[in-house]
Chains A and B, each alone.
Chain A
Amino acid sequence: MNPFKKKRHYPEFWETYETTFGKRLSERLEEVRFVVLDTETTGFDYDNDRILSIGALTILNNTIAVDQTFEVYLEQHFYHAANVEIHGILRDEAQERITELEALQRFLCYVGNAVIVAHHTAFDITMINRALKRHGLPKLRNKLIDTAVLYKRTLIQSPLLQQKEHYTLDELADKFDISKRDRHTALGDAYITALAFLKILGKINGKKDLTLKRLLR
């Protein structure tokens, strides 16, 4: 802490988000709230690219409630034509759009102190943190789980199997027989990630004794 700097005042929604961390997370996995997240962006440059949409859903005790999902589309000021093809989010498409700040506000309210799960967490989280920074806010405080990393725990150690450095969401979907419909929409990808996450958990938690601490390790 810098003693010369007075504690900054953050908007109320951030304070509300912060207070959710006052409560400790349960160690029992069936009581832990996981928020599975995916963002669609205009590109992969943290400085110049922006978030197009955020999709998220909640897993509680292996269950996803469809009416408790999160999906927002953000107003855009500039567009890379190249990216539109992947995500299919057209600039003038009739989707309700909200400002970046509004989106962040709603997201923080949704996520609370949940454990965030994403495929290649670093990318989505950095994108959100950069957006937070643009509005003078600190970084996300949530615990993170990366399905790309977690997946490796399910692989057998065998001299005959070449492990890859990175596994894409498509590879996971193929491996676990998850339909790739709605791929490249934020909530669609979040759903695929969520199913992959549940299936990975099923595999590495054979004896039902996995704690949150050991999962996060």
Chain B
Amino acid sequence: MKNTISERVADFLKDFPPFNELHEKDLEKLSTEISIVYKEKDSLVFQEEEVPHTCFYVVHKGAVLLRKRPDKTIVDLCDEGDIFGLRPLMANENYKMEAVAYEESILYAIPINAFKPLTQTYEEVGNFLIESFASNTRNPYANRHQGNLYGEKENRNTEAHPMLFDLQPIAYSKKIVSCSPETDIKSIARKMTKKKVGAMLVVERQLPVGIITDKDLRNKIATGLFPITAPASSIMSSPVITYPKKMTIAQTQMAMMKSNISHLCLTQDGTPNTEAVGILSKHDLMLELGNNPAVLLKAIKRVRKIKKLKPIRFRVTQLLKGYLDQNIPLTLILKIISELNDASAKQVILLALKKMDAPPPVKFAWLAMGSQGRSEQLLHTDQDNAIIFEDVPQERLSETKDYFLNLARLVTEGLRDIGYDYCPAEMMASNPHWCLSLTEWKDRVLHWIVNPGPDEVLLSSIFFDYNLTYGDRTLVEQLTQHIFASTGKYPIFFLHLASGALQSPSPTGFFRQFLVEEDGAHKDFFDLKRRALMPLVDAARVLVLSHQIKSINSTAERFEKLAELEPKQREFFLSCSYAVKALLKFRTKQGLLHNDSGRFIALDRLNKEEKMKLKRTFKTIRELQELVRVRFQVSNLLG
């Protein structure tokens, strides 16, 4: 019987294929029979080779990763409305891949027994399934193993430089799946399924004469135009459009666009009169393009719905992984990734502004704080942000603030939707304490500088790494001016900031062993952020601010600037900069490995070399803290 929840389920499903084809009554009935499953992040939905469940799944909220052994390569990322785990049920075989919740997810589990009859009553539902099973080309995140014409790849240039990307030669499959013009379609389809390819080359006397793709099977066979016993020659596209084997990415793109085709046949000399040497699919091209920051940046800017940013962000993470694997310098990685992060945030703000009923009443600036402000956010962590808006007359202050609070709510929600968790301490622009007019900010900051208690020091250390994400730069500059003017008058503030920088707990104990967390959710883990990164970040901040520099936010660059400002300490500051980069890289790799922020490290999972690397940075940290202690005479304060 239908109830409030089944109605809600039906209302969600009706927007997604193949459920959009169902009549209201059937969808209603189906909805009463499903189960709603909650999956924590990283929990398994099913395993490879597991006996199939009695139901398949639709992602309602969150995302599910499909992976394949042996190396757990990612096959697909299922987003809201995507179906997974259906094919094994229809084919009566065990799961061919594992499904893991990529983030906290809610799934609708649809019993196959309730669904199967519908595939027979509705032609469209049946077709949808045939299509999605036949072609693996639907999804853009697929990894190289899928959608290739052949499993193995050669000629792959992994060291592609991002700047010269379009002129890179493109990799193609050298092994070609082919048949003769007389072969019947049924055996062709079987062979394509067996070899997992999306197109088959038709060859006569070793020369390419035609090509058959998934699309031909769908358009000409599934529609009943030709029987499955017909020969290949009856449905193949002919003649074949051929190209020489040395194609660049740009050329490939042009060729496919020009002829509106999805597969290129590569021959010895580029004409149909020589032997075929390889096949290039649109999918190969997509994969190459997916790894290009310029394309991702364009994709981000083109997004019209915040939700659509999420799959792009997933590709950014894949890109990051690739960079780390290729050992590209971290400074470059940081630049590229933070550029992409910044663009996403900017896009969210732009889209949120569009949703507002009116344009902003006055100028404003959206600030990123914390690690994002320092452009050190490689992985998604929490969001810390704030708004400064132009001063308005007192009587208009509250309505103006309301406007920006509403805007901030939309933006923070949007950021949450694309993977930035809410700040647990609510340091976000949607909090009235972090959405202030310029004068209010000046007063607040002055208060911190004049009364530097522990809370004030903590707040200022988070806030002072602000960086403009969107909006009016002059507002930010005025605030920066004000901060330097105030700290000039109250130099004691630096002493407190410095002592705050020395508060982080030590990474190692007396016997130089790692100190791990003693209780809480992360008991026995090493807190990389608090014990190793924060001391460096905090020290860099106080040192560089005492030099009246605000334009540089990245910790590594701050140390490089310090090396320049203090030639005597040059070597030492450069080693600090190196330590920061090493730790960030370490944290990012750990984070990618475990799909989290990388903050807490299980020491028993590190090898000896990794531990040594960590410990080497600790020596630098100790020396740096000593320098801060002496320079700001912190002992005076601590007594």
Interface residues, chain A, CB within 8 Å of chain B?
Answer: 55, 57, 62-67, 69, 71, 155-156, 158-161, 175, 177, 179, 181-182, 185, 187-188, 191, 195, 198-199, 202, 206-207
Min CB distance B103 to A, Å, is 11
Q: Which of B33, B38, B459 contacts A66 (CB 8 A)?
A: B33
CA gap between A207 and B520 in the complex, in Å: 11
Min CB distance B352 to A, Å, is 16
- Which of chain A's residues have a CB closer than 8 A to the CB of B152? none
Q: Which of A158, A179, A207 contacts B425 (CB 8 A)?
A: A158
Task: Indicate if B458 sits at the interface (CB-CB under 8 A).
Answer: yes
Min CB distance A167 to B, Å, is 13
- Which of chain A's residues have a CB closer than 8 A to the CB of B104? 199, 202
A69-B8 in contact (CB<8A)? no
Min CB distance B10 to A, Å, is 10
B39-A62 in contact (CB<8A)? yes
Min CB distance A69 to B, Å, is 6
Q: Which of B4, B31, B417 contacts A182 (CB 8 A)?
A: B4
Min CB distance A75 to B, Å, is 19
B426-A202 in contact (CB<8A)? no
Q: Is the interface of B mostly helix, strand, loop or mixed?
A: mixed
Most buried by A among B6, B8, B39: B8
B109-A63 in contact (CB<8A)? yes
A66-B106 in contact (CB<8A)? no
CA gap between A62 and B35 in the complex, in Å: 10
CA gap between A43 and B4 in the complex, in Å: 22
Give the nearest-CB partner of A71 in chain B. B3
Task: Indicate if B299 sits at the interface (CB-CB under 8 A).
Answer: no
CA gap between A185 and B104 in the complex, in Å: 26
Q: Name the 3 nearest CB pairs between A and B, nearest first.
A: A187-B4, A198-B38, A64-B36
Q: Which of A67, A195, A206 contacts B32 (CB 8 A)?
A: A67
Give the nearest-CB partner of B458 in chain A. A160
A and B contact pairs by CB, cutoff 8 A, 6 listed: A62-B37, A66-B32, A69-B5, A160-B458, A175-B422, A187-B5
Min CB distance A55 to B, Å, is 7
A206 with B521, Cβ < 8 A, contacts A63-B109, A66-B6, A67-B32 known:
yes
B35-A66 in contact (CB<8A)? yes
Min CB distance A161 to B, Å, is 5
Interface residues, chain B, CB within 8 Å of chain A?
Answer: 1, 3-9, 31-41, 61, 104, 106, 109, 413, 416-417, 422, 424-427, 454-455, 458-459, 521
B424-A158 in contact (CB<8A)? yes
A160-B425 in contact (CB<8A)? yes
Min CB distance B625 to A, Å, is 24
B35-A64 in contact (CB<8A)? yes
Min CB distance A66 to B, Å, is 5
B109-A161 in contact (CB<8A)? no
Most buried by A among B3, B4, B8, B425: B4
Give the nearest-CB partner of B36 in chain A. A64
CA gap between A179 and B141 in the complex, in Å: 28
- Which of chain A's residues have a CB closer than 8 A to the CB of B8? 179, 181-182, 188, 191
Known: A62-B40, A71-B3; 6 extra A-B contacts, CB below 8 A, are: A55-B4, A67-B32, A159-B455, A191-B5, A191-B8, A199-B38
Min CB distance A23 to B, Å, is 24
Most buried by B among A67, A155, A181: A67
Give the nearest-CB partner of A162 in chain B. B426
Give the nearest-CB partner of B6 in chain A. A66
B6-A161 in contact (CB<8A)? no
CA gap between A62 and B39 in the complex, in Å: 7
A202 with B34, Cβ < 8 A, contacts A160-B455, A187-B5 known:
no
- Which of chain B's residues have a CB closer than 8 A to the CB of A185? 4
Min CB distance B359 to A, Å, is 26
CA gap between A26 and B128 in the complex, in Å: 44
B424-A155 in contact (CB<8A)? yes
CA gap between A57 and B4 in the complex, in Å: 11
CA gap between A90 and B531 in the complex, in Å: 60
CA gap between A156 and B422 in the complex, in Å: 12
A161-B33 in contact (CB<8A)? no
Q: Which of B37, B38, B413, B416 contacts A202 (CB 8 A)?
A: B38
Q: Which of A66, A159, A161, A207 contacts B5 (CB 8 A)?
A: A66
CA gap between A160 and B462 in the complex, in Å: 12
Give the nearest-CB partner of A191 in chain B. B5
- Which of chain A's residues have a CB closer than 8 A to the CB of B425? 156, 158, 160-161
Most buried by A among B6, B35, B109: B35
- Which of chain A's residues have a CB closer than 8 A to the CB of B39? 62
Min CB distance B360 to A, Å, is 23
- Which of chain A's residues have a CB closer than 8 A to the CB of B459? 160
Q: Which of B1, B37, B417, B521 contacts A63 (CB 8 A)?
A: B37
- Which of chain B's residues have a CB closer than 8 A to the CB of A66? 3, 5-6, 9, 31-36
- Which of chain A's residues have a CB closer than 8 A to the CB of B109? 63
Min CB distance B389 to A, Å, is 22
A62-B458 in contact (CB<8A)? no
A71-B424 in contact (CB<8A)? no
CA gap between A202 and B62 in the complex, in Å: 14
Most buried by A among B1, B6, B38, B104: B38
Give the nearest-CB partner of B9 in chain A. A66
Min CB distance A20 to B, Å, is 23
CA gap between A179 and B417 in the complex, in Å: 13
